[in-house]
Structure 1
Amino acid sequence: MSLAALHMESDSLDPRRFRTVIGAFATGVAVITTAFEGAFHGMTINSLTSVSLDPCLLLVCPRRGSATGAAIRGSGAFAVNIRAADQRDLSHRFVRADIAERFAELDIELGPRGVPLLPGAIAHLCCRVSAIHPGGDHEIVVGEVRTCSDAGGHPLLFHKGSFGAFRGDA
């Protein structure tokens, strides 16, 4: 493909093409969780970005209209559970449509404001919702990090539609 073809603009970019190309950017995998009206909610994401150190802010992007996104909006709090390399199955579980089964038989700890913390995470970040902005078919949720912890280990990664692991040189 020529360089010119790479830089052509289109008024109607095919979303599937965009998804394929953006998939070349490897991301970490996390599950965002919250508790709202007596129920736990959670979903697997790879849209996690640090925003600021003063104050400590991050952003996540749940799909607009998702039950987890609505619960985060309602509760005003959420946790980010960064998945370990050996937790592909758990990450798949939080993609399934059946929300009730996502937390079944998991040893849940509760963080601040009752947000569920998933076992085996290499890190947890507990956040208070600071702002929510529209973002196409998603919402951009900015969270102020109130507490965080890390347990070490290797992260689960997502690249071109597949899970993998980063082992590093150490």
Structure 2
Amino acid sequence: MSTIEAAITPADNLRQGFKDVFSQLASGVSVVTFWRGNHLHGFTATSLTSVSLQPPRVLFCVAQGSQSYAALGAGTCVGISLLSAGQRELSDRFARKLAPGAYEDVALTGPDERAPLIAGALGHLTADIVELIPSGDHAIVLCDVTAAQAAGGAPLLYHARAYHTLHPRS
């Protein structure tokens, strides 16, 4: 057995297997945005899930060690933009740790200035965080939706650690 093989533990194998399994789950790509001081801030999320229709409630997950988690709390208003097939660059940008002010050139839309919404997205939700539930190294963030608008189009999808889109039948 090589030194490298000896260093791999059962926990490492489980962690890698866990990641490999969930890489097979195709997900829509969203960006969760909010104001951090006077600057646009946000992160890419593939964990967006509808929870309830009454009240309209969604959840997403965020790493507890992230700058975003540190800035979020109950009562924070967030914008959730479901990205379209042509918005891969925005997904990549919001997935990186960038300095405050790094998103000033991102085009926003919408009448509600409490929650920034990304222009050109397939749909937008404005929501107020009602609860953050720590779970492992992440937190489950429950939000009550205060506004929702769909625009339609082809979605940006993430599967097998790569971006994809749907191709309509002709």
> TM-score per shorter chain, which class?
0.7 to 0.9
Does residue 87 of structure 1 match 2:87?
yes
Q: CA deviation at 1:99?
A: 3.7
Deviation at 1:74, TM superposition (A): 6.8
> Do structure 1's residue 33 and structure 2's residue 33 form an aligned pair?
yes
Amino acid at match of 2:59: L
Displacement after TM superposition at 1:15 (Å):
1.4
Mark the runs of 5 or more structure 2 residues left unpaired by the alignment. Answer: 1-9
Unaligned stretches of 5+ residues in structure 1: 1-9
Q: Is the 8 A contact 2:48 2:59 kept in 1?
A: yes
* TM-score, normalised by the number of residues in structure 1: 0.85
Alignment partner, residue 5 of structure 1:
none
Q: Report the CA distance between 1:32 and its aligned residue.
A: 0.3
Q: Give the Cα–Cα distance (whole angstroms) in 2 for the partners of residues 138 and 107 of structure 1.
A: 29
Shift of residue 11 of structure 1? 7.8
Cα distance, 1:71–1:62 mapped onto 2, change above 3 Å: same
Residue 166 of structure 1 corresponds to: 166
> In the alignment, which residue of structure 2 is the partner of 1:150?
150
Residue aligning to 1:24? 24
Show CA shifts across 1:37-65 (max 9, x none): 22221001101100000110000101112
For the aligned residue pairs, the C-alpha RMSD in angstroms reads 2.1
Say which SS state the counterpart of residue 114 (structure 1) adopts: coil
Alpha-carbon separation, structure 2, partners of 1:36 and 1:75: 14
1:121 is paired with a residue of what secondary structure?
A: coil
Contact 2:78 2:128 in 1 (8 A): yes
CA distance in 2 between partners of 1:115 and 1:71 (Å): 14
Instruction: Say whether the 8 Å CA contact 1:86–1:156 is kept in structure 2.
Output: yes
SS, match of residue 73 in structure 2: helix
- Contact 1:64–1:139 (CA under 8 A) maintained in structure 2: yes
TM-score by length of 2: 0.85
Partners of 1:76 and 1:113 in 2: CA distance:
13
Structure 2 counterpart of 1:108:
108
Deviation string 1:95-134 (CA, Å, 9 cap, x unpaired) is 1111436413222236536221111111000101111101
Q: Once structures 1 and 2 are overlaid, which stretch shifts more, 146-155 or 104-113?
A: 104-113
Are 2:61 and 2:140, in contact at CA under 8 Å, matched by a contact in 1? yes
- 8 Å contact from structure 1 (residues 33, 80) kept in 2: yes
* Corresponding residue number in structure 1 for 2:138: 138
> What is the CA distance between 1:75 and its match in structure 2?
5.8
User: Match of 1:28, as an amino acid?
Assistant: G
- Where 1:62 maps in the other structure, the secondary structure is strand
* Residue pair 1:132, 1:140 contacting (<8 A) in 2 also: yes
For residues 21 and 102 of structure 2, the distance between their equivalents in structure 1, rounded to whole angstroms, comes to: 30
- Are the structure 2 counterparts of residues 152 and 99 from structure 1 closer, same or farther at C-alpha, using a change threshold of 3 Å? farther
Task: From the superposition, tell whether residues 18 and 100 of structure 1 become closer, same or farther in structure 2 (CA, over 3 Å).
Answer: same
